Each structure stands twice: as C-alpha cells, then as structure tokens.
Amino acid sequence: MNPLAMESLRNVWTDYATDLKAVESSLHGLTLDANSTIRDVTAHLFGSGGKRLRPMLLIISSRLSGYDGSNMVLLSAAVEFIHTATLLHDDVVDHAEIRRGKPAANQVWGNQAAILVGDYLYATALYIATGIHDHEINDILTLACRQMSEGEILELMLDNNPQATEEEYLEVVARKTAALTAGTCRMGGILGGLDAAGRKALEDYGYFAGMAFQVADDALDYMAKEERLGKTLGKDLSEGKMTLPLLHCLSAVSPSDREKIISCMGKGDLSPGDLKMVLSFMKETSSLEYALSRATGFMNQARAALDYFPDSSHRQNLLALSDFIIDRDL
C-alpha cells in the first residue's frame, strides 16, 4: 500500500478506535460462557489479528446515519462472527494449514471442532440479531448466511473446471462476499433510521465494496508476498480455485499453453516451477492487471453510491476505505 493510503487507513481506524475496542470486547465477552473448546478456538482466531473490515463498515455506516447506540457494537460482533464462521468452514473444505500467518484451527483442533465452532458462531450471530428486535435486520443476516452458503457450494462446483466463466465467478463473489458487506452497511442505515433511499445507497456501497475486495484479494493470491499474505502464494491455483486471474489467463493463452495451465490446477503440491510458469502466462496476458481493473471498477461504483450523502467525516472515511481495498498489499 502506498504511504498516503496507509496513513489514510490509520486515520480511519483511529477515528473509531473506541468503537472497535468495544467490538473486540464483545467478540471475547460473548463466548465467555461457552465451553473450553469454543473459547480456545475463538481466542485463537480473534487473537490472530484480522482487519475487522466488516465491523468497521457497520460502525461507519451507523455513524454516517446518525446512530450512537449499543446495538452497533453488538451487530458488529455478529457480522464478525459470521465472517469467522465462514473462515472456519472454508479451511476445512480447503484442507488449509495456515490462516492469518498461524496454524489454521482445523490443524490445531481437527475438522470436527472447526466445523462445530463455526456452527456455534453462526448461531450466536443470529441470536444476537434477534435481540435487536428488528425484522429487517433478522432478514438481512439470515439471507446473507444463506447466500454465503450458496456461494460456497457454487465455488465448490466450479473447482478445477476450466470451462467456468467470469459470470459464474462473479456470482460466487456476489454471494460469498458481497452479500454480507452489503447487508452490513444496510444495517447501519437501519440503526440510524435512514429512509429507503439512504439504506439502498449504503447497501450499494457495501455490495460493490465487497465485490472489489474479493476480486482484488483473488488477484493478491498471485501477487502478494507470502509473509504478508498469511498463506502460500498460488494457493488458489493449487486448490483449483477458478478465480478471475486464472479465468482470464485461460481465455487469453494459446490452446497448448492453456493445457499446460490446466495441468497445474488442483495439484496440491504445486512446484515453484509450475507456479513460475503460470505467473509468466499471467504476465503475458495482463491477467492480474485485468482483475485489478475489474476490482477498481467495482470500487468506483461503491464510491458513486456515496454521492447520495452530503460530505462528512464518516463519508470521507468510507471513501478512504476504498484505497485500502484496492491498494493493499497485505
């Protein structure tokens, strides 16, 4: 990330430091009465860092909408629980070994514990939502969970499928990632009592920001330094994940080179030579640049959604998050 974007991001986090601290306390406090396995797994996950992007989106959206109550913190914890549950389940499905630079929970406690703690976090998030006593908020979170599950299944169906299309990939992203970020921002508008147009503007921002984040994240799998990415470079390729850089590259190379790339997909034990070859094809076809340009396009749509709101520090902070989403290098 360039220095100006990094400084802007630090300022955003500083502006909401008190709110974020309250969210961190809730993440730990809401599991205190759980059994030791749940406490240990969640402590491992929440102690491994993470950007807390979804809580931040809810906090800023709520503040932008004029809300200053405790439900903002509770719902921020709920969306982080949902996000964390998906990570637990993802790591089991993908046989992951590393998460945020540390051993994945399934490697430490086993697949059964990882799945069940993920289920617990989903249930806890929805239980938190019922305490808000707002039917629309309940609908948003339950629908987001359903869409995320659909996205995971669709992604599984596309694995190792060189015939997968960009449209199918974007449908995975819309359900797996953007559904929750869209709902998160909309809930901020609900808490603040915004009218339908204001809620829709925040929802649109969250949707397109989520699309941008995931597309950029998938490009980073082929770009970022491993020690900062927190996982093995080229992991998506080794797992046969049909993300945008790979899809674009497959569509742009010659038939013979396409077969070479396909032979590397889903190998698991991807060699440095294989990865180097695929990266060279991506460079020749400008596939990473293409993916990042698509991410930038989504982010521009997110920024445009904020035109509905008058200028304020909260609006500026949502705009500043776009720099992080597109320009981060993890």
Q: What local confidence, expressed as pLDDT, does residue 328 receive?
A: 67
The DSSP H or E segment spanning 268 is none
**Cβ contact 80:55 at 8 Å:** yes
Mean pLDDT within 269-288: 95
Residue 181 makes CB contacts below 8 A (sequence gap 6+) with 53, 54, 57, 206, 207, 209, 210, 213
What's the rounded Cα separation, in Å, for the pair 308 and 198?
Answer: 7
pTM, rounded to two decimals: 0.94
**Cβ contact 212:296 at 8 Å:** yes
Domain ranges in the chain are: 3-150+166-214+298-327
Residues in the chain: 330
Q: What local confidence, expressed as pLDDT, does residue 99 receive?
A: 87
227, pLDDT greater than 50: no
Residue 123 makes CB contacts below 8 A (sequence gap 6+) with none
- Using only C-alpha atoms, what is the Rg of the chain? 20
165, pLDDT greater than 90: yes
The mean pLDDT value of the chain amounts to 93
166, pLDDT greater than 80: yes
Cα of 50 vs its chain's centroid, Å? 11
Q: What local confidence, expressed as pLDDT, does residue 121 receive?
A: 98
Instruction: Using alpha carbons, list the distances in angstroms from residue 208 to 83, 134, 194, 297, 325.
Output: 17, 25, 20, 9, 11
**Cβ contact 318:60 at 8 Å:** yes
Q: What local confidence, expressed as pLDDT, does residue 51 receive?
A: 81
Q: What local confidence, expressed as pLDDT, does residue 330 receive?
A: 38
224, pLDDT greater than 70: no
12, pLDDT greater than 70: yes
Tokens 């694995």 belong to 159
User: Over the stretch 69-115, which tens digit does the pLDDT of each residue have?
Assistant: 999 999 999 999 999 999 999 999 988 888 888 899 999 999 999 99
User: Over the stretch 237-249, which tens digit does the pLDDT of each residue have?
Assistant: 999 999 999 999 9
5, pLDDT greater than 70: no
Report, at the CATH architecture level, how domain 3-150+166-214+298-327 is classified: Orthogonal Bundle (1.10)
**Cβ contact 253:172 at 8 Å:** no
